[in-house]
Structure formats: structure tokens, C-alpha cells
Amino acid sequence: MFSLRFATKRLSVALVILSLLVTATAQSNVESKKQLAKGERAQANLAFVTEYVRELSAVESIRASAEQEQTKGEKEDTFSNAIYTSKRMQFELRTQIGILKGMHLDAPFETLIPSLIKFYGHKIELYQKLIEISSAFIGGPEPGVDYGKLAAEVPQIRADLDDTDNSLLEATPLIFATLIDLKEDSQNHASHLIITRTERAQLLSDITTDFGSKLDQKDPHFQVSAAIILKMGLLKDFKSSDDPWE
């Protein structure tokens, strides 16, 4: 910020006035830049959370479709369905990773996106193992292959997938926190979100449209549970960015 330390008694009145004008302009520019930076940060965080909702919906759609195919399919279709579903999951997760790599969050959330990418990468590896195991069973008996051991690996892989999804679920409150304005109000509370009422309503609409009645399930799957956490956060008594400050 511009300093007035040179405005001494030896300066003329004109120089003092000029100095004050420059100071006022500099302060105005700093505030403008702060507001611009805050607005850009808000849009970046909103884009991230919106993308996360889309990711949850896409994965849940693939999971639900696989569950439906499993219930109506024949027993001999189990392995081919597993390959199909695993491949779809891999394609979607790679898409998600590609999108997230183009995003950035400022501190204190700077490690959040890299962590999600790491989780997604691990899931891709697990689905690859399922593909390889299912392919081995479809291909028929081969000498030297321990099919009992391969079959025993499947529940272990599924448990690892569940554990990874649970970690993602536990990270969801932090993902919602990216929408909270860290600026405190007069009561020293973080009472506002960084998004407007309209943006907030749109995000709620996205969640409701994507998950529908699943949001009312008593024992929802991981992706639906994460969506419920985000919805609950948006429905809390936070004020929106365009609401008055107290």
C-alpha cells in the first residue's frame, strides 16, 4: 500500500494532496483485487463441488445399473458383467481425474483435490484386478492357475473398494467446507457461504435431480450418503454470499 511517510512539512500542499489521491487509488485497487480474487476463488470452489456431485451421481448410476443387471442376469454372466462394470468405472474415474487435474483449491484446501485423485487412482487399480480375475474365469481352466486363490481375492478387493469409498465419504464434510466463507461475522462465527442464493439453490437442485428418492433411503450407498451430507450442509442456517452481514 502507498505510504505517506514523505508527506512532511517540507512538502508543498499540492504534493500532499497528490499523495493522498495516489493512496486512495492504491487502496481502492487493493480492495478491488481482493474482491476479484475472492470471487474467482468462490467460482473455483463452486465448480469443484458441482463436479464432485456429478462424480458421485455418475458412479452411483454405474453401481445401480450393475446391481440391476446382476439380479436379472444368469449365473454364467457374472464375470462378463463384472468386467463390463469395472471397465465403465475405470472410464468414469479416469474422466474424473482428468477434470480434477484442471482444478485448484487455495489453502487450507490445497491437498483435497490431489487426495481425491489418489483415491480414484487406487480404485482404478482395484477394478483392474477384478477385470483380470473375471477374465481368467471366463477363459476357462488353464494349467497352473489357482482359481480358488483368485476367487478368494474378490471379496478382499471389494472390501478395499468399500474402504476407499468410506474414506471419500469421510472427506465429504471437508468438501462442503470449501463453500464456507472463513471470514467471521460480528459474533466471530463463520456464518456465510461463498456462493449466492441462486448458486446454492442450483447445487441443491442438482443433488435432488441426480439422486431423487435415494436421498430418503435408510441405508444408502456411499455415493448417496455423500450427496446427503452435501445437501444437509446446504440446508443448514448458513447465509449466502449475497445475504447481509451482521
- Express each pLDDT in 64-90 by its tens digit: 999 988 777 666 678 899 999 999 999
Quick check: 215 and 208 in contact, CB under 8 A? yes
Instruction: Calculate the CA 92 to chain-centre distance.
Output: 15
Residue 1 has pLDDT above 60, yes or no: no
Whole-prediction pTM value? 0.82
> What are the residue ranges of helices labelled H in 73-192?
78-100, 112-138, 147-177
Contacting residues for 4 by C-beta, under 8 A, at least 6 apart: 19, 20, 23
Helix, strand, coil percentages, rounded to 5, for the chain:
70, 0, 25
**What's the pLDDT at 74?**
67
Q: Give the other-Cβ count within 10 Å of 180's Cβ.
A: 17
pLDDT, the chain, mean: 85
pLDDT of the residue at 34: 56
Residue 69 has what pLDDT?
A: 83
User: What's residue 167's pLDDT?
Assistant: 95
